[in-house]
Amino acid sequence: MSDADWSAVYLTLKLATLTTVLLLLLGTPIAWWLARTRSRLKGVVGAVVAMPLVLPPSVIGFYLLVLMGPNGPVGQLTQSLGLGVLPFTFTGLVVASLLYSLPFVVQPVQNAFEAIGERPLEVAATLRASTLDAFFSVILPLAKPGYLTAAVLGFAHTVGEFGVVLMIGGNIPGATRVVSVQIYDHVEALEYAEAHWLSAGMLVFSFLVLLSMNTLTNRRKTA
Amino acid sequence: MKLKYAMAFPLTLLCLTTARADDVQVAVAANFTAPMQKIAEAFKKDTGHTASLSFGSSGKFYTQIKNGAPFQIFLSADDDKPAKLEQEGMTVPGTRFTYAIGQLALWSAKDGYVDSKGEVLQKGRFAHLAIANPALAPYGQAAVETMTKLGLTASVQPKLVQGENIAQTWQFIATGNAELGFVALSQVMEDGKLKAGSAWLVPADMHTPIRQDAVQLSNSKGNAAAEALMKYLKSDKARAIIKAYGYGI
Amino acid sequence: MSERTLTARFKLSRPEFGLDVDLVLPGQGVTALFGHSGSGKTTLLRCIAGLERAEGVLQLGDAVWQDERTFVPVHKRPLAYVFQEASLFDHLSVRQNLQYGQKRVAQQERKVSLEQAIELLGIGHLLERMPARLSGGEKQRVSIARALAVSPQLLLMDEPLSALDFARKQEILPYLERLHDELDIPLIYVSHAPDEVARLADHLVAMEDGRVTAQGPIQDVLAQLDSPIRLGDDAGVVLDATVAERDSQWHLARADFPGGQVWVRDGGQVIGQRVRLRILARDVSVTLEPQTGSSIINAIPARIVELVADNHPALALVRLQAGSIPILARLTKRSAAALHLHPGQAVWAQVKAVALVG
């Protein structure tokens, strides 16, 4: 594999890691709220979070390009904050990936919170733990399997991201040229050998991810 | 009896559709989208045949055709890929010809941003310059050659953003995410006039000519519409349309 | 002995359910909230804990936990709560479960030590186990110990035995009695099981449809004749007595109470031990003179307080007073008429059976 290929691999891992960490942080309050609220807005927010599951990446990419562009509302905001515009930047890819992989992180965590239910919080409260204390001392440890699933899915889904990156990335080596785009370029340029290396790598990676998840799930069931 | 009729009806329909043979599947390079739509309209009016058009990057079409995609005609954005298909025996021999010569334009969606001599490039007061991926798209290759000739390669390099094809490059510029970029004139021109923004028509001596070749594919045998369309592309009427979009012939 | 009473006034109206109570409960001993499911007893308990929000006032001694302006959050109330299911934290070992609440209590407020809680509930051998490897009864014992370890000023239990089978119940009840006898922590105990209430309660609050139908010391409430509260199928009383003598020849023990004494089957108690007796109305008959030539060994001198019709036209319920202890007897109306029974009359209560419930 060429340097350009390795650079794409490194960039992809960096993007996926950063996105996953940020999503676990940002997704937790959203999942918490969705799991516990009785608000009528729950349906609406839940649907918005789940939207990337059904929307074609081209739709997300197109709207991000327009919204984050210099004339879009997000672009105007980032410009006024002195951040410039986000398309064609690594930051822009992170923002896009956060949106794109959001449901893959929020939903497993939300499911875990829902399965835990109210009772452990009530028990913790009668044992002198405030809600925040109980969240860290009881809920988080109990939700660990959910977090593990969320992290694996969020990471893997970000690695597999293509359409959105294609539309807002601008194919800049080291900043926005991720593995999936690099593969696309190789195929387009009829460089099938190079495409095979990266594609086979992705294939093995995806298999290992799913295998490790299944193994973990099974081990939990038998434990 | 009834059963026989019931079966005969769809069978008849099936025969009719295959026997008509007045439909041709065409793979069209993205830059040629607008003129080809007009040509197909005129083609239908004049001959009664229908041309079903697919637009995309030439590289993708090449791969798809090699893998059995049901196209009968391929209008490429370059001359390499049709030649390659010809060598590989996937075409009807002797059908390859140059249907258009691409005109490269430096374009901005903003009025007055690009001057008529392209000096805006030298000033370099822009954040992003969009080109098509030079490894994939002939217009991207031509753009790189032009910048090399102007001695700008090093200064512009950090500002380059690449579209996967010329259509996406146009989109980057049209949405304002890139202030300017190199596109096909056909994308920003209609009826001999610029549709919007400002442009510099890159002189032909700045890069190797962008010869866009068409070829009839070997699976089109017996398709009357395919032969008719190849002929039609060389007609005065079609040439006039092609020229109106800024292509050379 | 602390004499801090618990004042609880709550009003809650929901489409499917309402609660309207105004109670003053003693600051010691076991108070049972007794009623059918849906009577509001658990909701009341949750309101006291602060797990449920109802309009009202809640005060333990001088400490106001809730009024119009105040609502002390659950984790700041010096109480402990044992849930119906054990609800141990699955990710923590037994020891860590026990420590969870205790380490969140200020050092100077820790009155019950971990060792004490462990010893009281007999769980010393379970400390390093994970909850998944405990039986139902063991889990509940750990969760009771965990509650004790926060040194609560008020202990709340919501049917802690209802999820357990008979054998497991018998395993835990003695521990609950020890709590009662050895710790000076007021306990509010929600139950719909007559045997548990008869065995543990000092004070009884009977509930129905979100309201209190009767409350008071358990002897008094059970001996009321106007709207008798029955534990189970039959009317009857409970009374606390002390083992005073053991007859090893006949395997009997004598239990004394203020106003009398009864012989019961010897259950292995030691002399001086407090026991809880239950006497059902159907097992008590009335005679005007002490009987000789009877197989019944327990005859208690008493005075008739009140006679009322029972739920069958042939029967009457009679409330007797033996010293300070009320006893109920069920007679036929014909016998009552033949003996000319009337309030104030001195009689003998012949007790055919006494159950030692704890």
pLDDT tens track for C60-88 = 999 999 999 999 999 999 999 999 988 99
Q: Mean pLDDT over residues C172-188, rounded?
A: 84
CA dist B7 and B5 (Å) reads 5
Residue B60 is inside which H or E element, if any? helix B58-66
Closest chain B residue to A84, measured at CA: B127
> Is B164 in contact with A69 (Cβ distance < 8 A)?
no
Instruction: Enumerate residues 59 to 118 of chain A having a beta carbon within 8 A of any beta carbon in chain B.
Output: 65-66, 68-72, 84-85, 87-88
C-alpha distances out from residue C82 to A128, C50, C142, C143, Å: 14, 14, 10, 7
CA dist A110 and A23 (Å) reads 13
Mean pLDDT, chain B, integer: 87
Grade residue B11 by pLDDT with cuts at 50, 70 and 90: very low
Q: Mean pLDDT over residues C14-18, rounded?
A: 85
Query: Taking 50 as the threshold, does the pLDDT of residue B8 lie above it?
Result: no
Q: What is the DSSP letter of B217?
A: B
Alpha-carbon Rg of chain C, whole angstroms?
22
Instruction: Identify the domain containing residue A130 by its residue range.
Output: 15-168
CATH 3.40.190.10 residue spans of chain B: 2-101+211-244, 104-201
Residues B178-193: tens digit of each pLDDT = 999 999 998 898 877 8
Write out chain A residues lying below 8 Å of C84, CB-based.
none
Of C173, C104, C107, the closest CA to residue C144 belongs to C173
What are the CB-based long-range contacts (under 8 Å, 24+) for C101-105? C101/A126, C101/A127, C101/A128, C101/A129, C101/C146, C101/C147, C101/C149, C101/C150, C102/C149, C102/C150, C102/C151, C104/A127, C104/A128, C104/A129, C104/A133, C104/C75, C104/C150, C105/A128, C105/C150, C105/C151
Residues A78-87: tens digit of each pLDDT = 989 888 888 8
| Per-residue confidence (pLDDT) for residue A191, from 0 to 100 | 83
Q: How far is B8 from chain A (nearest CA, A)?
A: 42
Q: How much of chain C exceeds pLDDT 70, in percent?
A: 98
Instruction: Work out how many domains chain A is built from and give that number.
Output: 1
> Is A172 in contact with B160 (Cβ distance < 8 A)?
yes
Looking at the domain assignment, is residue A116 inside a domain? yes
Q: Mean pLDDT over residues B102-123, rounded?
A: 91
Query: Taking 60 as the threshold, does the pLDDT of residue B20 lie above it?
Result: no
Q: Mean pLDDT over residues A4-23, rounded?
A: 93
Q: What is the DSSP letter of B158?
A: G
Look up the pTM and report it. 0.79
| Per-residue confidence (pLDDT) for residue B81, from 0 to 100 | 93
Is it true that domain B104-201 has CATH number 3.40.190.10?
A: yes
Interface residue of B161, B165, B168 to substitute, partner A, most A CBs within 10 Å: B161
Residues A30-86: tens digit of each pLDDT = 999 999 999 999 999 999 999 999 998 889 988 998 899 888 899 999 989 888 888
Mean pLDDT, chain A, integer: 90
> Is A71 in contact with B160 (Cβ distance < 8 A)?
no
**Residue C79 — φ and ψ, nearest 5°?**
-125, 175
CATH of the domain at A43: 1.10.3720.10
Determine the angle formed by the axes of helices B166-174 and B138-149, rounding to 10 degrees.
Answer: 70
Residues B124-171: tens digit of each pLDDT = 789 999 999 898 888 999 999 999 999 998 889 889 999 988 888 999
- The answer, for A115 touching chain C at a CB cutoff of 8 Å, is no
Query: Taking 60 as the threshold, does the pLDDT of residue C212 lie above it?
Result: yes
| Per-residue confidence (pLDDT) for residue C272, from 0 to 100 | 87
| Per-residue confidence (pLDDT) for residue B21, from 0 to 100 | 47
Looking at the domain assignment, is residue A8 inside a domain? no
Grade residue A221 by pLDDT with cuts at 50, 70 and 90: low
Q: What is the DSSP string of C291-307?
A: -SS-S--EEEEEEEEEE
Grade residue C311 by pLDDT with cuts at 50, 70 and 90: confident
Instruction: Report how many helices (DSSP H) and strands (DSSP E) chain B contains, helices first.
Output: 11, 12
CATH class of B2-101+211-244: alpha beta
Q: Mean pLDDT over residues B203-227, rounded?
A: 91
Q: Mean pLDDT over residues B81-86, rounded?
A: 94
Residues C222-280: tens digit of each pLDDT = 888 766 677 766 788 888 899 999 988 989 999 999 888 889 988 888 888 888 899 99
CA dist B146 and B144 (Å) reads 5
| Per-residue confidence (pLDDT) for residue A133, from 0 to 100 | 96
Grade residue C124 by pLDDT with cuts at 50, 70 and 90: very high
C-alpha distances out from residue C190 to A74, A206, B5, C35, Å: 57, 54, 79, 8
CA C108 to chain centre: 31
Residues B51-73: tens digit of each pLDDT = 999 988 888 888 889 888 889 99
Interface residue of A118, A127, A220 to substitute, partner C, most C CBs within 10 Å: A127
Q: How far is A221 from chain C (nearest CA, A)?
A: 13
Residues A83-141: tens digit of each pLDDT = 888 888 899 999 999 999 999 999 999 999 999 999 999 999 999 999 999 999 999 99
| Per-residue confidence (pLDDT) for residue A214, from 0 to 100 | 84
Q: How far is C205 from chain A (nearest CA, A)?
A: 23
In which order are the strands placed within the sheet that holds C55-60?
Answer: C18-25, C6-13, C55-60, C63-66
In sequence order, the β-bridge partners of residue B213 are B98
ipTM of the complex: 0.84
Query: Taking 80 as the threshold, does the pLDDT of residue C358 lie above it?
Result: no
Q: Mean pLDDT over residues C272-299, rounded?
A: 88
Looking at the domain assignment, is residue A174 inside a domain? no
Structural domains present in chain C: 6-218 (3.40.50.300), 236-356 (2.40.50.100)
Grade residue A223 by pLDDT with cuts at 50, 70 and 90: low
Q: How far is C24 from chain A (nearest CA, A)?
A: 22
CA dist C10 and B241 (Å) reads 86
Q: Which are the contacts of C74, defined by CB distance < 8 A and separation ≥ 6?
A: A122, A125, A126, C49, C50, C51
| Per-residue confidence (pLDDT) for residue A30, from 0 to 100 | 97
| Per-residue confidence (pLDDT) for residue A142, from 0 to 100 | 95
Grade residue B10 by pLDDT with cuts at 50, 70 and 90: very low
Query: Taking 50 as the threshold, does the pLDDT of residue B15 lie above it?
Result: no
From the list A167, A170, A188, the residue facing B57 with the nearest CB is A188
Grade residue A192 by pLDDT with cuts at 50, 70 and 90: confident
| Per-residue confidence (pLDDT) for residue B2, from 0 to 100 | 46
Grade residue C2 by pLDDT with cuts at 50, 70 and 90: very low
Interface residue of C75, C81, C98, C102 to substitute, partner A, most A CBs within 10 Å: C75
Higher pLDDT, C3 or C10: C10
CA dist A71 and B58 (Å) reads 31
